[in-house]
Structure formats: structure tokens, C-alpha cells
Amino acid sequence: MPVDIRRVLLVANYQKPEAEGLVEEMRSYLEGQGITVVVFAFSGRTAAPEVDGFDLAISLGGDGTVLFASRFLSSRRTPILAVNLGDFGFITEITKDEWRSAFEKFRAGGLAAGERLVLAVEVYRDGAKVAEFIGLNDAVIAAAGISKIVKLSVSLLEDKLGSYRADGVIIATPTGSTAYSAAAGGPILHPEMEAMIINPICPFTLSHRPIVVHAQEHITLAIEAEQRTGVILTIDGQTVFSLEPTDEVRVFRYPEKARIIRSDKRTFYEVLRSKLNWSGGPDA
């Protein structure tokens, strides 16, 4: 079925040299078809824009730009056309030369928006909730200092997994499975799966391994009282929150999903093969 698109939000990372020119190209093309265009351009860290009432968002940048956009668009169920202006994009499958074709195919009903699990993260201190976040890639609890081990107790709804002595713990979505979690030895999941990854970072006990759990699980990470370093929580590598001993971090599936428009030029596995150089060669 065709999609009625009347208002489009352009989320443009102006740290990418090509972004500004592409914004003007998109604005001219879309406004020429009677579509209202609102541009949110940024360079570096910024607050989220007002995003109510948009039929589509176009992200111009790399994977980090999509992560930023997804955190404020997921609750509105706004589909995101992610255009890659970066060097290494797993989420941004659509190139800058393909955006117009992808837009028209989506508007005509020929491209679908895949739904991706988003994490809800809550921090409790002395029994009271002191912070909450959402993230498309991951939530990471790690030492604030260099080469320090943190002490965490990790449990699920009905089961305690145990105490972790490690550089930290990553809770990753399937989308985030190709990011920090993969670098820490975690499995790669199809981005539209219903699952979460619990991945210890360089655990002191070598028997601790990454675990894939169902998306219905609630994961609780308790910061143990005795720590030899400061502890921080990072969401999508972009939002940082300082934790204190005895804090609890609760991670579960956010009620809404991020809607990322799929490319018809390449599959997720083709992107993996290309980005990870699975065909072989000196960099494989």
C-alpha cells in the first residue's frame, strides 16, 4: 500500500562533509512535491528536537546518527530512512546515491520498515528510580577508570546468573550485536530478532560467556558495594550516567520499536560479508 508522506524530518550530522549539500538536495526535491520539510542539523552533542507529527525521518550521517534519531523517534513509530555518509555502517544500508530511489519505493509501498527492538534502561538508587533511558544498540556498565575491574551481580526475572568480575557488561540488542558487543566477542544476530545479549567484557573468570536471552526477560545488574573504581552506564556510546555502589540497573524491552527502512539493494548478510571482509584477503 502507498504511504502518505506530508511531513519529513531531516536529521543531519553536519560533522559529515557531504551532509549540508545533501540536505539542500533533499529539501528541494521533497518540497517540489508539496512535502513539508523540517531540518534538524547538528554538529557534536545536542538535545533532541521536537518530533511530533512527522510521517518520515531521514537520517544523514553514520550509524551514530541513526542511534541518536531512534532514541526520540521510536516512541512515535516514525519510520527512519537511514542514509550512510559514514565509513562503516551496519544500520545505514542506503547510500547517498540511493536515497531518492529508496524514498520513492517506500512511498509507493515497495519498501518496508523493519522493526527493531529497543532497550529500556532504568537506574534505581535506594529503591527509587533516578534515571531512565532508551537505546537501540546497547547499555554498557563499565569502569570509569583505566584497567579496573567492576563487580556486578546479574539476574533475570527468575534466575540469578551470578557475580561478574570484569571490565564491564554489555547488554546489546540484535541491532547492537554488530557494534561493541561483537568487538567483545559476542554473537551477531539478525537485527529484527526478539532477543538480547548479555556479554561480559574481559571477565576475570573465563567461564563467563556471552548469553542470548529472550526479549521478554528483565535483566537486573546490581552494582556491588565494594568497588575499586568509579562505575558508569553508557547508552549507545552516546549518553553517560555515573553509577554508585548498590545501584541497580534494570534493562528490558521498550514497548515501541525503532522502524528502520530496509534497503532492496543488499541484505543484512551481504552487508556483513562486505563490512567484515568475509570473502578473505589481508584484512579479513
- Residues marked as catalytic: 63
Q: Of 150, 142, 140, 148, give the one whose Cα is nearest residue 170.
A: 140
CA angle 29, 72, 141 (to 5 degrees): 135
Extract the C-alpha cell encoding 239: 549518553
Block residue for cell numbers 542511534:
67
Q: Render 161-207 in DSSP notation, one character per residue.
A: EEEEEESEEEEE-TGGGGTHHHHTTPPP--TT-SEEEEEEES-SSTT
Block residue for cell numbers 584484512:
283
Give the CA distances from residue 162 to residues 127, 205, 208, 221, in Å, rounded to whole numbers and listed in that order: 21, 11, 9, 10
- Fill in the amino acid letter for 70: S
Q: Of 77, 76, 118, 69, give the one whose Cα is nearest residue 253.
A: 118
